[in-house]
Chain A
Amino acid sequence: MIARLFNWINSRYKIEKLLYFSREKSVPLHRGTMWYYFGGITLFLFGVQVITGLVLLFYYRVGSDASFESVKFIITQVKFGWLLRSMHSWSANLMVLAAIIHMMSVFFHRSYRKPREMTWVTGVTMLFLLMVFGFSGYLLPWNELAFFATKVGTDSARAIPLIGDFLLKLMRGGSDVTGATLSRFFGLHVSVLPPIFTGLLALHLFFVQVQGMSEPLESAGHGRKRTMPFLPDFLLRDLMVWLVTFDILLLLSVFFPWELGVKADPFSPAPAGIKPEWYFLFVFQSLKMLPAHIWGIEGEVLGVMVMGVGAGVLFILPWLDRASSQGLRNRLFDVIGVFGLLYFATFTILGYLID
């Protein structure tokens, strides 16, 4: 039966080529093989995001007088609504975490080196899109924390020279965070970002298929390679990892359901202890600790500019680290990577500890 179906399709679309390709696909074995799983985990969590996001749309309503109420309805009235909403929030966070780990492993293995520059660029772009996803999704329940986090986050854009004010208005849909902002963020979150992200993801995966998995600098091109067939060996391992990921996600969603909080009120003071999502916390903490003025520039302006430069460096990294393309390891980039990681970790922890 399956053979007949296969023949029917194959006589029309020649899918046997795909089969040959997937049979030859293999995964290099070395000390760092386990890090390959994190790309897959990110992909799996993206799937969870798409499905939970779609079902949330069935009940979610947008508007400053509807959003909070509809999320409340979802988590209190709709069967399993609390679970799906919690899974959406948790898997968003786990996805950012998995993507960051994936990126760090690519970074330390120098897998971004020639010829995989564009895999890196599409990957970094997706990480930034994930953050925009997170930032826009955070506002959608229209609660107090999200309201002020959005006020602060969008106001930071004002620090960008020349186009800052324009950007601020563009994001907020006016000069203040209002229902207009909510509409924009909603549109961005559910209809602008998903197709862009999906396109980039397809490109990213396409590059990986065409070029195969990267090997670490040290083992590349030396001696006999140890590999594992992708089908079925690695795929089955992938599925196991996905299952574990799904279990963790469910455990977190069930035992630590995401809170809804208090409805946003544009005419009440900011509550003490407002914090953005953890992956923005290091930025938030840095902005908090910068003095009002440094060398005559507003501290916040300087901070935002430094972050902008950092993001730019991340994008063009494959072209900065030329040594790696020649099979050499530039230790400077290890130092930069470790420093970046320590900075991220320290300021994130500080963000939780300091009020």
Chain B
Amino acid sequence: MEQHSPPPLTRRKFLDHFLTGTGLAALAGVVYPLFRYLTPPPQEEAVVSSVNLGPAKDFPPGSGKIFRLGSKPGILVRGVDGKFRAYYATCTHLDCIVQYDGRADNIWCACHNGRYDLNGRNVSGPPPRPLTALNVNVLPDSEEILITLAEGGKG
């Protein structure tokens, strides 16, 4: 009847495992809901894919305007060259909101002195990436500015 068997599970050992297991499970039961609670639920946001900024003549060359596209800020820039361009106004460095700098005729972020040219390319300072572009349409009949999402772009 001699055979190798694992050491018998004593009552003490069984209770040790059982209590440790239930203890951990109880802890997980407390921690998990708390953890999930702290993670904010996704907000239902109305999908905004275009915004009308009014007559083009309100924006003289060498001006910029921050507008609201859904929950995100955008910037309409009309450089000294008179051309309209629009981007999401969020700086690619650390999330500040950029502005048009009339003296330098480019786009500037005041937080860390980052600069983008009128085409949204990061040209100096810390920003690592260009601004995300938006489409600017001048409506043919009313001469109003309509901003729309660029091809493949998302909010």
Contact = CB atoms under 8 A, between A and B. Distances in A.
A14 interface: no
A174 B72 CA distance: 13
Contact of A271 (B89, B93, B110): B110
Interface string B113-130: 100000000100111100
B128 A169 contact: no
A156 interface: yes
Contact of A269 (B43, B110, B125, B127): B110
Contacts of B127: 292
Contacts of A155: 94-95
Interface of B: 38-40, 43, 66-68, 71, 73, 75, 89, 91, 93-99, 109-113, 122, 125-128
Contact of B112 (A170, A267, A288, A298): A288
A169 B40 contact: yes
B96 A268 contact: no
B126 A299 contact: yes
Q: Which secondary structure characterizes the binding site on chain B? A: loop
B94 A268 contact: no
Nearest to A268: B66
A176 B128 contact: no
A215 to B, nearest CB: 44
A164 interface: no
A299 B128 contact: yes
Nearest to B111: A270
B73 A267 contact: yes
Interface string A208-249: 000000000000000000000000000000000000000000
Contacts of A176: 71
Interface string A274-298: 1000000000000110111100001
